[in-house]
A and B are shown apart, each in its own frame.
Chain A
Amino acid sequence: MDQVERRSLSVLVDNEAGVLSQVSRMFSRKGYNIESLAVGTTDDPKVSRITIEVLADEKHTNLLCNQLRKLLPVHSVKLLNPNNSIRRELILVKVNADSSEACNRVIQIANIFRASVIDVSTTTLTLAMIGEESKAEAIVNLVKEFGILELVRTGMVALERGTDTIYEATKEKGEFDYGKNVL
């Protein structure tokens, strides 16, 4: 079990200045590089959800989660089960396409991967694609020969499948809230 793997954490936090830096600091402090990070508000504009991916073993991931849960602006932290969660990220890639042949081939590749062409110039094409690492890697490898001018990823976002949510009131969550008691 204790293998170094890529693990996804969902973190619910107050949507306030400085909170992201508090959360991300915890990773650098413990010597973990953040592989991927995505932040945005939830259906409640006062609450943001951070999805963080990190390469770590289970024991250290749990320690990290516990240190995060201790922070006052952190509402809850969930380590997502990789077998029971969906992960997606958006990738934008600007490719060299200075001949009509190159242009056609890039568009063909895009179609196969269900990527969309979102910008065209006389010498470039920009593709947008949603997926997981394997799909991203595949398309990036294919368009490499045309020359990649720029590539950007949003960072992975993830949700659990089915009825499971981060809002479940577990005993463990109650235990962490005890330490945050302010009375």
Chain B
Amino acid sequence: MQMTGAKILMECLLEQGVDTVFGYPGGTILNVYDELYNYEGKIRHILTAHEQGASHAADGYARSTGKVGVCFATSGPGCTNLVTGIATAYMDSSPVVFVTCNVTENLIGKDSFQEVDITGITMPITKCNYIVRDVNQLADIVREAFAIARGGRPGPVLIDIVKNVTAETAEYTPLSREEHASQGRLGALVKRASHDLKMPEPDLGDVEILADMIRKSSKPLLICGGGVVRGRADQEFNVFAERIDSPVAITVMGAGGFRGRNPLTTGMIGMHGSQASNMAVDACDLLIAVGCRFSDRVALDPKTFASQAKVVQIDIDRSEINKNVETDHHIIGDAKRVLQLLLERLDQQHHEEWKQYVFSFKTETEYDEAGNTLTPKQISDVIARLCPQDTMVATDVGQHQMWVAQHFHYDYPGQLLTSGGFGTMGFGLGAAIGAQVGNPDKTVIHITGDGSFRMNCNELATESYYNLPIITFIYNNQVLGMVRQWQHLIYHEHYSQTTLDRAPDFVKLAEAYGLGGKRVCTVPELEEAVREALACGHGYVIDCAIDMDEMVRPMVPGGGRITNFLVD
């Protein structure tokens, strides 16, 4: 059937099972939005306040649902506003397809109004990107883009369509998703990499070697990384950890990959890792990292990291092997499948003595009795007590992010939505919107700091318009807390440009957007506000006063030995 490029795009989205798109219209993408108008009821469009918000929302949607997120934006500033969101998705391997439109073919390269080389700009932060200049290739490219975004190690893909292509017509033949891999460009790609039409298998020899290493180990340690979450391998990982009776340290990205309440968990690992996790890294004889790339926030000093252990990496991306930490063995494959193969080969192991040693250290930070203001731990406790256990938590970046990662116990992949790799302040509200849209029956909360919230609080408009009952908790210390913490510990208390004693009044701001809001300074006030927020059925902002000198503890300085705690 002959169709315009814009209509082909819509049909291709439907082929992929897309029913939700986040975005913001503009001049060059007008044809696409005109067609979207005809697809009302099939494709729901969430209009955000800013393209960055849309990019984070599509990312949050993808992380929380496991589906591919989709985001539209126009040319020029529309698509450059996506850049932070694309990089955020890239660093955390989140599958999002970004569709942008560029100026008409004959205006390209002439510095036309709102023209920018977005494929050039996003080359280092996308798995791949395309510029579509021929309407006959559009369907093929969209199909390939989705397959690439969700396949292998997931990640963002950008499709830039020149405006005339969205108006021109071509023959469109519907193709079910199962057939995509045998046709067109995608077919050629699959054939080139000599895959059959099924997931490739991990190397069984490599699996045997690891099984043998596990049998010989008396002091094993597992790291649950983001790959377990992305690969939704949580069930297998839980069984595996119990089978080999190994303590499990969890990275920020790995939260939810291993049940936070399981007695085998040692808590978070790395710069703000628990004593138990970090001491275990130092003393273990076998370290198995699943879907973890040993970032500098986890491994700190690659030379002294796990220096007594044989290090084994299980990862889907071969280029992560030996990138940051030298390993002794690796298995390439999907976490779920590799763990299944290992489970088939391993009997129950027992490591009582080793566990006794590891769990003689603290798995959680102990806090002093509270003073006059709220403490971060008190806020976290109230949230954990009053919100449903399966509440989804989106965060921004800074001290609150670390507290949220440390204090809560996560039960399933996608429960914690946080920018771990890129560290994007302003990620949280957009991500919470995406998560709430994708999971309408779940309670979604957004935990932020006053610095982060000020960055993208414009998305309260989106939250309000679509009546999304997200509760925002601001851990408000009137300072840029994490940077201040470094200034306090390392920069001789030179608090350079980290004091944020300024407008707005967040309660009035929430009210201005038509949401509820309350400022709280004590636990009873907080409890009352949370109850009210949960009951009210619309968005709510709770501004929690905390002390500016609160620190994230423990802390190991960057590049140091993992047991070299600067603060306990």
The answer for the CA separation of A171 and B152 in the assembled complex, in Å, is 17
When C-beta atoms are compared, the residue in chain A nearest to B148 turns out to be: A182
The answer for the CA separation of A181 and B186 in the assembled complex, in Å, is 11
Q: A72 touches which one: B124, B189, B197, B200 (CB < 8 A)? A: B189
Residues from 410 to 428 in B contacting A, C-beta threshold 8 Å? none
The answer for the CA separation of A138 and B203 in the assembled complex, in Å, is 51
Q: Are A70 and B317 in contact (CB under 8 A)?
A: yes
Any A CB within 8 A of the CB of B316: yes
**Contact A171-B123, Cβ < 8 Å, known A75-B192, A179-B153, A182-B152:** no
Q: Are A172 and B318 in contact (CB under 8 A)?
A: yes
Residues from 104 to 160 in B contacting A, C-beta threshold 8 Å? 119-120, 123-124, 127-128, 144, 147-148, 151-153
A21-29, A31-39, A98-106 - interface stretch: A21-29
Whole-angstrom distance between the Cβ of A77 and the nearest chain B Cβ:
11
Whole-angstrom distance between the Cβ of B292 and the nearest chain A Cβ:
15
Any A CB within 8 A of the CB of B503: no
Q: Are A183 and B127 in contact (CB under 8 A)?
A: no
Q: Are A182 and B147 in contact (CB under 8 A)?
A: yes
Whole-angstrom distance between the Cβ of B343 and the nearest chain A Cβ:
20
> Across the interface, which residues of B come within 8 angstroms of A70, CB to CB?
317-319
How would residues 509 to 523 of chain B score, 1 for a CB under 8 Å from any chain A CB and 0 otherwise?
000000000000000
**Contact A66-B319, Cβ < 8 Å, known A177-B195, A181-B200:** yes
Q: Are B152 and A178 in contact (CB under 8 A)?
A: yes
Q: Are A183 and B124 in contact (CB under 8 A)?
A: no
The answer for the CA separation of A169 and B148 in the assembled complex, in Å, is 23
Residues from 330 to 375 in B contacting A, C-beta threshold 8 Å? 332-333
User: How many A residues face the partner with a CB closer than 8 A?
Assistant: 27
Q: A183 touches which one: B190, B194, B203, B318 (CB < 8 A)? A: B190
The answer for the CA separation of A172 and B190 in the assembled complex, in Å, is 18
Q: A29 touches which one: B120, B124, B144, B152 (CB < 8 A)? A: B124
The answer for the CA separation of A175 and B198 in the assembled complex, in Å, is 15
Any A CB within 8 A of the CB of B193: yes
Whole-angstrom distance between the Cβ of A132 and the nearest chain B Cβ:
32
Any B CB within 8 A of the CB of A94: no
Q: Which of A72, A169, A175 has the most CB of B within 10 A?
A: A175
Any B CB within 8 A of the CB of A45: no
> Across the interface, which residues of B come within 8 angstroms of A161, CB to CB?
none
Q: B199 touches which one: A63, A72, A183 (CB < 8 A)? A: A183
Q: Are A179 and B316 in contact (CB under 8 A)?
A: yes
Q: Are B151 and A183 in contact (CB under 8 A)?
A: yes
> Across the interface, which residues of A come within 8 angstroms of B119, CB to CB?
18
Q: Are A180 and B152 in contact (CB under 8 A)?
A: yes
How would residues 191 to 218 of chain B score, 1 for a CB under 8 Å from any chain A CB and 0 otherwise?
0111101111011000000000000000
Q: Are B147 and A183 in contact (CB under 8 A)?
A: yes
Any A CB within 8 A of the CB of B435: no
Any A CB within 8 A of the CB of B44: no
How would residues 64 to 102 of chain A score, 1 for a CB under 8 Å from any chain B CB and 0 otherwise?
001101101101000000000000000000000000000
**Contact A69-B181, Cβ < 8 Å, known A181-B151, A181-B152, A181-B193:** no
Q: Are B123 and A182 in contact (CB under 8 A)?
A: no
> Across the interface, which residues of B come within 8 angstroms of A174, CB to CB?
200, 203
Whole-angstrom distance between the Cβ of B226 and the nearest chain A Cβ:
15
When C-beta atoms are compared, the residue in chain B nearest to A171 turns out to be: B203
Residues from 299 to 350 in B contacting A, C-beta threshold 8 Å? 316-319, 321-323, 332-333
The answer for the CA separation of A70 and B124 in the assembled complex, in Å, is 12
Q: Are B316 and A72 in contact (CB under 8 A)?
A: no
> Across the interface, which residues of B come within 8 angstroms of A180, CB to CB?
151-152, 189, 193
> Across the interface, which residues of A come within 8 angstroms of B318, CB to CB?
66, 69-70, 172, 175-176, 178-179
Q: Are A176 and B316 in contact (CB under 8 A)?
A: no
How would residues 6 to 50 of chain A score, 1 for a CB under 8 Å from any chain B CB and 0 otherwise?
000000000000100110010001000000000000000000000
Q: Are B319 and A177 in contact (CB under 8 A)?
A: no
How would residues 110 to 149 of chain A score, 1 for a CB under 8 Å from any chain B CB and 0 otherwise?
0000000000000000000000000000000000000000
The answer for the CA separation of A117 and B128 in the assembled complex, in Å, is 46
> Across the interface, which residues of B come within 8 angstroms of A181, CB to CB?
151-152, 193, 195, 199-200
When C-beta atoms are compared, the residue in chain B nearest to A47 turns out to be: B192
> Across the interface, which residues of A come within 8 angstroms of B199, CB to CB?
181, 183
Q: B195 touches which one: A67, A73, A183 (CB < 8 A)? A: A183
Q: Are A178 and B333 in contact (CB under 8 A)?
A: yes
Whole-angstrom distance between the Cβ of B360 and the nearest chain A Cβ:
38
Q: Are B148 and A72 in contact (CB under 8 A)?
A: yes
Whole-angstrom distance between the Cβ of A35 and the nearest chain B Cβ:
22
Q: Are B319 and A69 in contact (CB under 8 A)?
A: yes
When C-beta atoms are compared, the residue in chain B nearest to A26 turns out to be: B124
The answer for the CA separation of A67 and B323 in the assembled complex, in Å, is 9
> Across the interface, which residues of A come within 8 angstroms of B194, CB to CB?
169, 177
Whole-angstrom distance between the Cβ of A26 and the nearest chain B Cβ:
9
> Across the interface, which residues of A come within 8 angstroms of B124, CB to CB?
25, 29
> Across the interface, which residues of B come within 8 angstroms of A172, CB to CB?
318
Q: B197 touches which one: A25, A73, A177, A183 (CB < 8 A)? A: A183
Q: Are A178 and B319 in contact (CB under 8 A)?
A: no
Whole-angstrom distance between the Cβ of B501 and the nearest chain A Cβ:
40
> Across the interface, which residues of A come within 8 angstroms of B123, CB to CB?
18, 21-22, 25
The answer for the CA separation of A112 and B119 in the assembled complex, in Å, is 50
Whole-angstrom distance between the Cβ of B47 and the nearest chain A Cβ:
31
The answer for the CA separation of A66 and B319 in the assembled complex, in Å, is 5
**Contact A183-B181, Cβ < 8 Å, known A18-B119, A178-B200:** yes
**Contact A182-B319, Cβ < 8 Å, known A18-B119, A72-B127:** no
Q: Are A63 and B192 in contact (CB under 8 A)?
A: no
The answer for the CA separation of A72 and B190 in the assembled complex, in Å, is 11
The answer for the CA separation of A140 and B316 in the assembled complex, in Å, is 50
The answer for the CA separation of A174 and B152 in the assembled complex, in Å, is 13
The answer for the CA separation of A66 and B323 in the assembled complex, in Å, is 9
When C-beta atoms are compared, the residue in chain A nearest to B151 turns out to be: A182
The answer for the CA separation of A75 and B193 in the assembled complex, in Å, is 8
Q: Which residues of B contact A (CB under 8 A)?
A: 119-120, 123-124, 127-128, 144, 147-148, 151-153, 181, 186, 189-190, 192-195, 197-200, 202-203, 316-319, 321-323, 332-333
5 CB contacts below 8 A, A to B, read A178-B152, A178-B202, A178-B318, A178-B333, A182-B152
Going nearest first, the 9 A-B pairs with the smallest beta carbon separation are: A182-B151, A175-B332, A182-B147, A66-B319, A70-B319, A177-B193, A175-B318, A179-B317, A181-B152
Given A66-B318, A66-B322, A67-B319, 15 more A-B residue pairs with CB atoms under 8 Å apart are: A22-B123, A66-B323, A69-B318, A69-B319, A72-B128, A172-B318, A175-B318, A179-B318, A179-B319, A181-B151, A182-B144, A182-B181, A182-B189, A183-B197, A183-B199
